[in-house]
């Protein structure tokens, strides 16, 4: 495949992050770790960050098509915005003199937005001007029309004091010519699109959407719409993961559901690797007798780790396989629905974002007192489903963990608006103790 690999400028930021993590954790990312050991969430993130890179190709798209796409260029403004001094008010543009205390002005012209006028306004004169109108030569302040009194047909009197520069939006005040407005890797928001349009741009270079392959595994899985047989449950994870991927801006190849058979899993991975940049599998990644995903990963390529010290989500495999001239990244998510969703959010999505050329995003966390005791044993980092409590102004004041924290109870995650993050070595938490809260984007 003819792929143009884009070097990521923001890899510097990631390297910094890795260095800091290493210092804190005193782990070497390069250590040849035994696959059978638990690694921490940070170690998992560092190891994956080192293994993935931005692989997305570049395309030129119209502003209309650029929403939520990562920029593949740094944008410097070709013009001043606004391009000329203009009025911020409907009022009068004055030739204001600091020496005189004159409050009476002769109105000599009228200026509408988009209809500049060439005359020069002399001392003692003013021009009626509308919002956005170009400030005429000679004027150095605008007074809003509510602050003047009409004197006859052609004069006004100021009823409030005016300062030099009042109500004038200076040329380049918003964005100066040559100024860097957005840097490579920025995920474009609707407001960003407006800023780009204000520069007169019609198209921008963005990274192409990555293609992610997905399938679920499990002999017990029936598809929604089918009648459940004894021992079956519905495959809730595949629609959920597909929706999460779509929501995050990826193209998805849905390879369906596969029985618990190693060869079938291997051949589905091989097939997907022809067209996909990464593959997400779900289920069968643990140590059960019918758990074949980890084995399939290691027989096809390399498996870096498959146990992370987190709850939910202990079994989570990360690996890669080479297909012709490209490397395809493999994420083996656990089958329990809450574990699937949480490992997607915490471990998988940040890596897919890096691969797709996006700048690393900072997470908005907060500390809140819990209004329930929380049980926990040291050994894994917990992500407990919870609800943020707010006062009458909407300010978060406390957090309530749900009573049911089973990794099979997906409805609790649907109703949660945050996860309480409890550190690996910490044990239970008492009422009113502050905890780290990670709001969940819905
Ligand atoms: P596994 O990770 O395959 O050991 O599965 C762990 C638990 O998650 C089992 O109870 C499975 O039945 C359940 N599970 C696995 N895959 C799915 C899925 N796609 N949708 C819903 N539940 C699943
Ligand atoms: Mg299974």
CATH of the domain at 405: 2.40.340.10
Last residue of a domain, one of 332, 355, 378: 355
Question: Is residue 196 within a helix (H) or strand (E), and if so which, with residue range?
Answer: helix 190-198
Ligand located closest to 218 CA: 2
> What is the pLDDT at residue 441?
82
14 within some domain = no
Ligand located closest to 216 CA: 1
For a ligand 1 pocket test, name from 222, 224, 233, 235 the mutation site with the most ligand atoms within 8 angstroms of its C-beta: 233
The CATH number given to whatever domain includes residue 138 is: 2.170.190.11
140 within some domain = yes
Cα of 105 from ligand 2 centre, angstroms: 84
- Tokens 């010519």 found at: 177
Domain co-membership, 220 together with 319? yes
Domain co-membership, 255 together with 185? no
Name the token pair of 145. 């029309």
Domain co-membership, 101 together with 189? no
Domain co-membership, 262 together with 338? yes
Ligand 1: residues with CB < 6 A are 216, 218, 220-221, 233, 235-238, 282-286, 288, 291, 334-337
Ligand located closest to 288 CA: 1
| Count of domains for the chain | 4
Domain co-membership, 64 together with 49? no
402: helix, strand or coil: coil
26 within some domain = no
Those residues with Cβ within 8 angstroms of residue 258's Cβ, 6 or more apart along the chain or in another chain: 215, 216, 217, 264, 265, 268
User: What HEC string does 43-90 produce?
Assistant: HHHHHHHHHCCCCCCEEEEEHHHCCCCEECCCEECCCCECCCCEECCC
For a ligand 1 pocket test, name from 234, 336, 339 the mutation site with the most ligand atoms within 8 angstroms of its C-beta: 336
Closest CA to 21 of 39, 6, 2: 39
Cα of 379 from ligand 2 centre, angstroms: 24
Q: How many helices (H) and strands (E) does the chain have?
A: 9, 26
28 within some domain = no
> What is the pLDDT at residue 100?
75
Domain co-membership, 148 together with 222? no
The CATH number given to whatever domain includes residue 275 is: 3.40.980.10
Cα of 283 from ligand 1 centre, angstroms: 6
Last residue of a domain, one of 295, 320, 355: 355
For a ligand 1 pocket test, name from 222, 239, 262, 283 the mutation site with the most ligand atoms within 8 angstroms of its C-beta: 283
d(CA 323, CA 327): 6
Which residue's CA is minimally distant from atom 8 of ligand 1? Answer: 336
Ligand 1 atom nearest 216 alpha carbon? 19
| CB-CB contact of 398 with 437 (8 Å) | no
Ligand 1 atom nearest 257 alpha carbon? 19
Domain co-membership, 48 together with 63? no
73 within some domain = yes
Name the token pair of 132. 């956005």
> What is the pLDDT at residue 30?
29
Cα of 288 from ligand 2 centre, angstroms: 8
| CB-CB contact of 297 with 319 (8 Å) | yes
> What is the pLDDT at residue 36?
58
Domain co-membership, 71 together with 131? no
Domain co-membership, 95 together with 183? no
Domain co-membership, 345 together with 426? no
Cα of 427 from ligand 2 centre, angstroms: 30
Cα of 284 from ligand 2 centre, angstroms: 4
Cα of 338 from ligand 1 centre, angstroms: 10
For a ligand 1 pocket test, name from 335, 408, 413 the mutation site with the most ligand atoms within 8 angstroms of its C-beta: 335
246 within some domain = yes
Domain co-membership, 195 together with 216? no
227 within some domain = yes
For a ligand 1 pocket test, name from 218, 288, 411 the mutation site with the most ligand atoms within 8 angstroms of its C-beta: 218
Cα of 85 from ligand 2 centre, angstroms: 67
The CATH number given to whatever domain includes residue 201 is: 3.90.105.10
193: helix, strand or coil: helix
Ligand located closest to 261 CA: 2
Cα of 238 from ligand 1 centre, angstroms: 11
Count of C-beta atoms within a 10 Å radius of residue 16: 11
424 within some domain = yes
Which residue's CA is minimally distant from atom 23 of ligand 1? Answer: 335
Residue-range definition of the domain harbouring residue 74: 59-80+177-207
Question: Is residue 381 within a helix (H) or strand (E), and if so which, with residue range?
Answer: strand 381-390
442 residues of the chain, pLDDT tens digit each: 343 333 333 444 444 444 444 443 333 332 333 445 789 999 999 999 999 988 999 999 999 999 999 999 999 999 999 999 999 999 999 999 877 788 999 999 999 999 988 899 999 999 999 999 999 999 999 999 999 999 999 999 999 999 999 999 999 999 999 999 999 999 999 999 999 999 999 999 999 999 999 999 999 999 999 999 999 999 999 999 999 999 999 999 999 999 999 999 999 999 999 999 999 999 999 988 889 999 999 999 999 999 999 999 999 999 999 998 899 999 999 999 999 999 999 999 999 999 999 998 888 999 999 999 999 999 999 999 999 999 999 999 999 999 999 999 999 999 999 999 999 999 999 999 999 999 998 7
Domain co-membership, 263 together with 320? yes
Last residue of a domain, one of 140, 169, 198: 169
């Amino acid at each position: 495949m003819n792929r143009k690999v884009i070097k990521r400028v923001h890899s510097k930021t990631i390297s910094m992050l890795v260095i800091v993590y290493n210092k804190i954790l005193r782990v070497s990312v390069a250590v040849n770790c035994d696959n059978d050991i638990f690694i921490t969430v940070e170690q998992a993130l560092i190891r994956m960050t080192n293994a993935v890179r931005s692989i997305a190709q570049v395309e030129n798209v119209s502003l209309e098509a650029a929403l939520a796409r990562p920029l593949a260029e740094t944008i410097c403004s070709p013009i001043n915005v606004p391009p000329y001094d203009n009025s911020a008010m409907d009022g009068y543009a004055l030739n204001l003199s600091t020496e005189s205390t004159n409050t009476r002005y002769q109105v000599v012209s009228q200026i509408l937005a988009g209809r500049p006028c060439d005359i020069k306004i002399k001392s003692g004169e003013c021009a009626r001007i509308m919002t956005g109108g170009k400030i005429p030569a000679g004027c150095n302040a605008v007074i809003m029309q509510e602050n003047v009194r009409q004197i006859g047909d052609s004069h006004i009197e100021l009823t409030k004091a005016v300062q030099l520069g009042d109500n004038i939006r200076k040329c380049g005040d918003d964005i100066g010519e040559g100024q860097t407005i957005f840097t490579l890797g920025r995920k474009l928001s609707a407001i960003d699109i407006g800023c780009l349009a204000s520069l007169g741009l019609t198209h921008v270079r963005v990274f192409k959407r990555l293609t992610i392959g997905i399938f679920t595994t499990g002999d017990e899985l029936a598809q929604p719409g089918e009648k459940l047989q004894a021992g079956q449950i519905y495959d809730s994870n595949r629609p959920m993961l597909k929706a999460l991927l779509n929501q995050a801006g990826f193209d998805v190849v849905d390879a369906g559901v596969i029985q618990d058979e190693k060869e079938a899993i291997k051949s589905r991975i091989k097939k997907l690797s022809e067209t996909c940049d990464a593959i997400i599998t779900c289920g069968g990644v643990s140590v059960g007798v019918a758990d074949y995903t980890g084995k399939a990963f290691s027989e096809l390529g390399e498996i870096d780790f498959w146990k992370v010290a987190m709850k939910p989500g202990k079994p989570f495999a990360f690996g890669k396989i080479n297909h012709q001239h490209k490397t395809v990244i493999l994420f083996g998510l656990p089958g329990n629905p809450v574990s699937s969703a949480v490992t997607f959010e915490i471990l998988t999505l940040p890596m897919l974002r890096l691969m797709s050329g996006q700048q690393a995003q900072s997470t908005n966390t907060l500390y809140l007192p819990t209004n329930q005791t929380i049980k926990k044993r040291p050994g894994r980092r917990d992500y407990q489903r919870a609800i943020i409590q707010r006062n009458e102004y909407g300010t978060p004041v406390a957090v309530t963990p749900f009573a049911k924290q089973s990794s099979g109870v997906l409805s609790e995650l649907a109703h949660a608006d945050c996860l309480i993050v409890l550190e690996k070595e910490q044990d239970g938490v008492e009422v009113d103790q502050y905890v780290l809260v990670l709001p969940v984007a819905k």
